[in-house]
Amino acid sequence: MKAARLNESGIATFAGWIETVKAGGAIKAPLSLLTDPAATEPLGVELEVEARAFANRFEAAEYLHTRFTAAGLTDVERDRGLWAWLSLFYFDAVCPAGKGGVRKPGALARHVSEPGNFQRYYRHLLAGPYRIFRAHRENPKLAFALLCQPLEAPGDVVEQLASRQEVVTNPGILALATKLYVDTTTQRLKRGAGGKSSGSARRLTDVIEQFDLTWDLYASTGEELAAVMPKEFAKFLK
């Protein structure tokens, strides 16, 4: 399907529908908005996307990066209308219906991006992983700790790490997080990666803040950081 961007009217209608769903109302997505001339505006390029499922955040980000590149789009992170259009188009992927057809969309920021607010932007279920993937596009697998999760359920590790710009932009720290928390066999997070227990991602941010006082973390590799981690992280480095 040829993608477009929702205009302000389209975004408002989409946001209003999400609030209705959250209140237990309408379930069927207003897909007619995707092609409604009164709710959309053209991108100016041919961006083709297909309705599909994604195994995880990485797969979604990789797919979108490939599609954007093919269309010649390189500066899309702040395109609120495009991300709203994509969120609606992929709503079954970012907010699948559960038992009885009930959807739980969560906060509006998960579906309508806020490009000017870094503390919320990362929560967008499509723009968030895409931004991480593109920032580390030469080796996106190093950020897999933030991209291995189901698209609709980013979880605590993403919340703790992606919300901190000094973490999400640092290849060494992301490589460390992936080494610590991703099971190389299952390609999923290890038990205990989230939450408040010792060695968790929440604790990692505390340790990184301490390291940052004395070290140039942007000059450190994941392996170098792993070698100096406190003992509480040893269980994740086995």
Q: Same domain, yes or no, for 107 and 146?
A: no
- The total number of structural domains in the chain stands at 2
Q: Same domain, yes or no, for 177 and 126?
A: no
Of 66-70, 95-99, 121-125, 225-229, the range with the lowest mean pLDDT is: 95-99
Regarding pTM above 0.85, the answer is yes
Boundary-marking domain end, from 89, 109, 135:
135
Q: Same domain, yes or no, for 219 and 236?
A: yes
Compute the distance between CA of residue 236 and CA of residue 89 in angstroms, rounded to an integer: 38
Determine the structural domain holding residue 150 and report its residue range. 141-238
Q: Same domain, yes or no, for 147 and 226?
A: yes
pLDDT band at 100 (very low <50, low <70, confident <90, very high): confident
Q: Same domain, yes or no, for 122 and 155?
A: no
Q: Same domain, yes or no, for 82 and 148?
A: no
Boundary-marking domain end, from 135, 157, 177:
135
Q: Same domain, yes or no, for 197 and 131?
A: no
Q: Same domain, yes or no, for 4 and 83?
A: yes
Q: Which value, to the nearest 10 degrees, does the dihedral of the CA atoms of residues 84, 86, 87, 92 take?
A: 160
Q: Same domain, yes or no, for 105 and 148?
A: no
Q: Same domain, yes or no, for 70 and 30?
A: yes
Q: Same domain, yes or no, for 71 and 152?
A: no
Helices 171-181 and 201-211: crossing angle, nearest 10°? 150
pLDDT digits (tens, 9 = 90+) for 70-92: 999 988 999 999 999 999 999 99
pLDDT digits (tens, 9 = 90+) for 160-195: 999 999 999 999 999 999 999 999 999 999 999 999
Boundary-marking domain end, from 115, 135, 155:
135
As given in the structure block, the two tokens for residue 23 are 């209140």
Q: Same domain, yes or no, for 190 and 109?
A: no
Compute the distance between CA of residue 188 and CA of residue 83 in angstroms, rounded to an integer: 26
